[in-house]
């Protein structure tokens, strides 16, 4: 299964979700803001990279984990990807899209926009990380639900 | 097999018109009649959905069209990456950006209005077809 966490630019929420999924961020405690910022791929993507599928690693069950930014119309982009592949006769049931953007708060979103869109990295990066830190529990629960769904899918296969 | 995907950053009507020219559903050597354009819309545009990729014809060269709205710039990059994920040969795929039709009405009854706009701007759709060597 290919687990694909997506958000606007694959710089913050999808990166943090993938990091929790892969154990690079803890799920049993709240990490320090510094730990979030020091992720190698946190707040790192540029605007031109939106749409790029970033491989993040393999989880304990052998699922490949990715992060991608779909820009402002994630539904349209997702549909375009799946429908093109299906038109080509490709079975897309191994794509497991999960929208991470819904699971972060406004601080993280505003911080992310300041850093990536407006280039105010010194303010935006710590603000986005603080936002993720504040709502960390929600993000951990989201990743936990994703893992549960993956387990159910694996059982059904 | 070569696969051509015609897309536009609007509601797909421009992409459909260009793809129809490519497939010969509309004549390229003369100006199409309004009725011919309306027929293409009626046959292929019903149930249009943003982002959905529609196949125009199955043949040696597969032709697809879609309307991507604001998602266009990011979708092309994403397509390339997902094709790579499934080990598809990148050189088989050509993504062709098409001009937009500006009239807002999309209902079947108003296809005639769109057809008039298409006829008025036929040259820009034909230009896309004539410039495909750039993509090849």
Do B90 and B80 form a contact (C-beta atoms < 8 A)? Answer: yes
- In 3D, which of A90, A92, A85, A81 has the Cα closest to residue A6? A81
Q: Cβ contact (<8 Å) for A81 and B79?
A: yes
Residues of B in contact with A73 (CB under 8 A): 50-51, 68-71
Query: Is the ipTM reported for this complex over the cut 0.90?
Result: yes
For CA atoms A151, B88, B78, B129, give the dihedral sign: negative
Quick one: average pLDDT of B60-82? 92
Q: Cβ contact (<8 Å) for A77 and B51?
A: yes
Q: With 90 as the cut, is the pLDDT of residue A11 above it?
A: yes
Q: With 80 as the cut, is the pLDDT of residue B1 above it?
A: no
Residues of A in contact with B6 (CB under 8 A): none
Residues of B in contact with A85 (CB under 8 A): 82, 86
Quick one: average pLDDT of B108-121? 76
Q: Cβ contact (<8 Å) for B82 and A85?
A: yes
Q: With 70 as the cut, is the pLDDT of residue B132 above it?
A: no
Rounded CA separation B34/B113 (Å): 9
- At B8, give phi and psi (nearest 5°): -135, 170
- At B108, give phi and psi (nearest 5°): -55, -40
Q: Looking at residue B135, what is its pLDDT?
A: 47
Do A71 and A101 form a contact (C-beta atoms < 8 A)? Answer: no
Do A64 and A58 form a contact (C-beta atoms < 8 A)? Answer: yes
DSSP letters of B4-44? EEEEESSSSHHHHHHHHHHHTSS-SSSPPPHHHHHHHHHHH
Quick one: average pLDDT of A118-125? 92
Quick one: average pLDDT of A77-99? 95
pLDDT tens digits for range A42-65: 999 998 999 999 999 999 999 999
Share of chain B above pLDDT 90, in %: 47
The neighbouring-strand residues paired with A64 are: A2, A58
pTM (predicted TM-score): 0.89
- In 3D, which of A22, A19, A30, A32 has the Cα closest to residue A63? A22
Q: Looking at residue B133, what is its pLDDT?
A: 58
């Amino acid at each position: 299964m290919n687990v694909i966490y997506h958000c606007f630019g694959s710089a913050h929420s999808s990166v943090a979700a993938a990091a929790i999924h892969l154990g690079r961020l803890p799920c049993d405690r709240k990490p320090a803001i510094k730990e979030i910022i020091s992720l190698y791929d946190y707040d790192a993507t540029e605007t031109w990279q939106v749409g790029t599928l970033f491989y993040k690693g393999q989880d304990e069950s052998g699922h490949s984990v990715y992060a991608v930014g779909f820009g402002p119309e994630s539904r349209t982009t997702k549909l375009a990807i799946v429908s093109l592949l299906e038109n080509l006769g490709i079975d897309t049931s191994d794509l497991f899209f999960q929208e991470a953007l819904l699971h972060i708060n406004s601080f993280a979103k505003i911080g992310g926009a300041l850093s990536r869109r407006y280039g105010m990295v010194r303010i935006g990066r710590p603000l986005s990380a603080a936002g993720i830190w504040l709502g960390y529990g929600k993000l951990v629960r989201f990743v936990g639900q994703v893992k549960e769904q993956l387990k159910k899918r694996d059982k059904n296969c | 097999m070569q696969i051509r995907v015609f897309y536009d950053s609007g509601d797909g009507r421009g992409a459909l018109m260009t793809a129809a020219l490519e497939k010969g559903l509309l004549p390229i050597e003369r100006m199409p009649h309004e009725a011919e354009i309306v027929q293409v819309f009626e046959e292929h545009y019903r149930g249009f959905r943003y982002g959905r990729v529609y196949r125009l014809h199955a043949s040696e060269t597969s032709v697809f069209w879609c309307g991507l709205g604001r998602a266009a710039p990011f979708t092309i990059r994403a397509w390339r990456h997902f094709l790579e994920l499934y080990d598809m040969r990148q050189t088989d795929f050509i993504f062709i950006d098409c001009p937009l039709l500006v009239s807002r009405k999309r209902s079947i009854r108003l296809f005639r209005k769109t057809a008039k706009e298409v006829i008025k701007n036929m040259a820009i759709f034909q230009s896309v077809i004539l410039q495909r060597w750039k993509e090849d």
